[in-house]
Structure 1
Amino acid sequence: MLRLVKVIGTGIKRLIQLILLAITLFMSILLLINLFTIGTTYQSMLSIDELVESEFIAEDVPVIVLGAGVVDNAEPSQILKQRLDQAAILFEVAPDKQFIMSGDHRDQYYNEVAVMKDYLIEQGLPSNQLFLDHAGYSTYDSLYRLKNVIGEDKVIIVTQGYHLSRALMLARGLGIDAVGVPAPDSKSSRVYREVREVFARVKDFAVTYLGYQEENRPNLAESFDLNMMGDETNDKTNLLD
């Protein structure tokens, strides 16, 4: 009986050791991927002043603003509002740029991109310089569609800094020459967003470097290019092939 207890005790001890080893390995991989993502994209994050001195201002390079939720299908969330406000500041120094609003417009009851465009029109941006990508359901979808549907391979990305490193990594993996302009960040629910981003970087690292892809994504319909007028993209049914 005593021998059986010792055997069971030894087995439990080894199991605990294996669990701790697995947890340590998982946390190490998590940390390394996050450090890699942030470290390899940091130099591509520019302030407005730095952007003005770069080739991205002088050349015909569009701006993409990534969606982040709307309230009652009528106004941008606080996080999204900060991205749009940064885009409006960018417009002041680059008034000839074309701006792509990329977000979720799955149905008539949730039209993220229309809310984004309406907000920027209120800030004084010309409607025809604001293009709507209605199928930007995720960061990867937005950038994949930018390259493979809209046909652009160089871009200025506007989003918060915590999100920007992942967006720049995905852009690089897709063959897009990109820089990012970080938008201000809200303190509200900041811890939740940053914890979520830790795991999102791992998933998109797998997408970028390991070939992972979700089924039926991204959507390749609703195509347009920047030779059109921005208002031609307002109705997604007009963009179906």
Structure 2
Amino acid sequence: MRWLLWLVLLVAAWLLGVAAWIVHVGNRDQAGPADAIVVLGAAAYDTRPSPVFTERIRHGIDLYEHGYAPTLVFTGGYGDGARFSESQVARSFALREGVPNEAILIETLSRTTHQNLLRARDVLSDHNLQRVIVVSDPLHMARALRLCRQLGIDAIGSPTPSSRFRSFRTQWRFLAREVYFFHRDLVVTPD
């Protein structure tokens, strides 16, 4: 029976360690000179980005305006029944904010984080862009950067400073989901 207690304590310590690592990575802003800023997709409602996606787009634009990179790459495909892809909605938002069209690249086929980055890698390769800053929510950053490494993308992270996941409940749920994905990705190749 004692071994069971030790096993439970060991598993709990492991899970807390993974969660702490995810929080740590999400609290580091590594923004530095790069060739492009890759903004990971999130939901869009017809022509409006969701509040989460709005914050990601705004942060990407802020990095662009501060001269970290000359190109914005928006990712995200079509949601169920959507007229516009997430990346098209992001491009429209950025254009309204004064970003020139020639500074924006998009991909419109992805539906998951892995697909966002896989398609972004193709866009980056097509335009000979090497080093990127990845923009997402803080608790999503560890997984995004891990996927970048797996896909051979030279990436640094810049989490949104104004994440919509602010309450304890929403942060806890997001963190629990990311701990799950950390372990799932060890066993299953992400889609």
TM-score after normalising by structure 2: 0.77
**Match of residue 87 from structure 2:** 113
Pairwise CA distance, 1:212: 1.9
For the structure 1 residues 92 and 64, does the alpha-carbon distance in structure 2 shift closer, same or farther, using more than 3 Å as the test?
same
**Match of residue 76 from structure 2:** 103
Q: 2:138 aligns with which of 161, 175, 179?
A: 161
Q: 1:197 aligns with which of 175, 183, 191?
A: 175
Pairwise CA distance, 1:68: 1.8
Which string of whole-angstrom CA distances, capped at 9 and with x for unpartnered residues, describes residues 60-94 of structure 1? Answer: x11111112122x1211111111111122222222
Pairwise CA distance, 1:141: 1.8
Matched to 1:82, the amino acid is: E
**Match of residue 77 from structure 1:** 50
Matched to 1:182, the amino acid is: P
CA-based RMSD: 3.1
1:1-241 aligned within 5 A: 18=4, 24-39=9-24, 41=25, 45-46=29-30, 51=31, 54=32, 56-57=33-34, 61-71=35-45, 73-94=46-67, 97-106=70-79, 109=82, 111-147=85-121, 150-151=124-125, 153-183=130-160, 184-186=162-164, 191-204=169-182, 206-207=184-185, 210=186, 212-214=188-190, 217=191
Pairwise CA distance, 1:190: 5.9
Matched to 1:45, the amino acid is: D
Structure 2 unmatched runs, 5+: none
CA distance in 2, matches of 1:133, 1:108: 18
Pairwise CA distance, 1:186: 2.5
The 3-state SS of whatever aligns with 1:64 is: strand
For the structure 1 residues 44 and 192, does the alpha-carbon distance in structure 2 shift closer, same or farther, using more than 3 Å as the test?
closer
TM-score after normalising by structure 1: 0.63
Contact 2:43 2:79 in 1 (8 A): no
Alignment coverage as a number of residue pairs: 185
The 3-state SS of whatever aligns with 2:73 is: strand
**Higher alpha-carbon deviation: 143-152 or 128-137:** 143-152
Matched to 1:103, the amino acid is: G
Identity %: 23
Structure whose alpha-carbon radius of gyration is higher: 1
Relative contact order: is structure 1 or structure 2 higher (C-alpha 8 Å, sep ≥ 6)?
2
